[in-house]
Structure 1
Amino acid sequence: MSDDERLFDEEMAGVKPLQTEQRVNIKRNVNDPASVEARRQAATAREGKRNFLTTSEIPLLDPYYLLEYRREGVQHGVFRKLKQGKYAIEARLDLHKMTVEQASKQVFEFIREAMAVDLRTVMIVHGRGHRNASGGAVLKSYINHWLPEMSEVQAFSSAQPQHGGAGAVYVMLRKSERKKQENRDRLARGRGN
């Protein structure tokens, strides 16, 4: 036995191990409504802060392909009016000459800002892409891929010829809670007369 080991043994003589309390393993119910709601809010908060739109390769659409998308719950008449360009365009984003990465950031920020100021109908000009060497409409294809991923987007449709036709898209955004309440108040006042 070395001197260090002997010295250690002498110093440790009479030392007793600490007593530890037995712990009860509590199993949380991960499916209770409060924890489910807390996780949902945390996920929504994360989603709202960072751009989740993919810039990885996707199949390219034909330059003259007409875009059309409607979330469940959007009335047919409302969607028809959107397709016909009958809603006032409250804001416009032009993506001409942008890379996919630049366009991703611009679209993400544009939709978030439009929601923040209670806009309902906006337009995104993506171009047809008929001059693209690959033969496909790059930005148009990404717009068609990105918009359904954004929960704020209720519907979209290629624009009428006077607004850019197959090179632009009308986008209908979700109504904010504040605007919904304003409508309820307005309707309630109308019924009271």
Structure 2
Amino acid sequence: MKRRAPSVQDDDIRLFREAIGDVRPMEPVESVPERPRPAPHPFMRDADEAAVPADSLLFDYDPADLEVGEELAYLRDGYPPKVLRQLKRGQFSIQAEVDLHQMNAAAAQMTIAEFLAECRHDGLRCVRIIHGKGLRSKAGGPVLKGLTDKLLRRRDDVVAFASARPMQGGTGAVVVLLKG
């Protein structure tokens, strides 16, 4: 057997009104506007840039370990040689990078094209492509390094590129300067 909820009687309503007294409607309250969020700040890039002068004074590598003759360098016709020298010395700030390790040639080619298109779209001028040194490559030599060299030379948006400085990946990476 179900019990029905007791109905509200007129007497109950009167008692309730007497208990709470006079009421007045509340004015609508405007919600507090959301504070604007601060723009993101690249703290890690700032820290990296601040560390460059100190890192450039460190000689914690053996100059004999440098792979002489394996450096990549290219300067598009019509640009002064000074641009390539500045790039080799690390005088441009690297704004983005992509790592091609563990990719086959087809995937690397697509990744490079997409990466450079995105960088151009975002207005980036100096980027790094990590292709690796090809230490596990067969007798034909480093596949991704050669592919990167060929692809970059064919692109109209590439002003110059050079093997990275030792602390940035050495001959296992290339720093690319894009048209502005």
TM-score (norm 2): 0.60
Mapping for residues 64-83 of structure 1, pairs under 5 Å: 65-83=70-88
Answer yes or no: is the 8 Å Cα contact 1:92–1:123 preserved in 2: yes
Structure 1 CA distance, aligned partners of 2:68 and 2:75?
21
Q: Hey, which bits of structure 1, 4+ residues long, moved more than 2 A?
A: none
Q: Match of 1:165, as an amino acid?
A: G
Match of 1:169 among 169, 174, 177: 174
Do the aligned residues in 2 keep the contact of 1:154 with 1:174 (CA within 8 Å)? yes
State whether structure 2 residue 145 is matched by structure 1 residue 140.
yes
Deviation, 1:73, is: 1.9
Q: Deviations over 1:90-143 (max 9, x none)?
A: 000100000000001100001111000110000000000022133501000001
DSSP 3-state at the match of 1:169: strand
In structure 1, C-alpha distance between the alignment counterparts of 2:147 and 2:164, rounded to whole Å: 16
Alignment partner, residue 124 of structure 2: 119
Q: Which runs of 5+ in 2 are unaligned?
A: 1-66
Which structure: larger Rg? 2
For residues 153-188 of structure 1, the C-alpha deviation after alignment (integer angstroms, 9 at most, x for no partner) is 11000011000100000000011xxxxxxxxxxxxx
Structure 2 counterpart of 1:102, from 107, 110, 114: 107
* Structure 1 unaligned blocks of 5 or more: 1-61, 176-193
Q: Which has the higher helix share?
A: 1
Residue type at the aligned position of 2:163: S
Q: Does 1:91 align with 2:72?
A: no
Q: What is the deviation of 1:63?
A: 10
Q: Decide which of 151, 157, 167 is 1:152's aligned counterpart.
A: 157
In the superposition, the TM-score normalised over structure 1's length comes to: 0.56
Matched to 1:152, the amino acid is D
Q: For 1:69, what is the secondary structure of its paired residue?
A: strand
Percent of aligned pairs sharing the same letter: 40
Contact in 2 for aligned 1:120/1:173 (Cα 8 Å): yes
Structure 2 distance, partners of 1:146, 1:75, is: 22
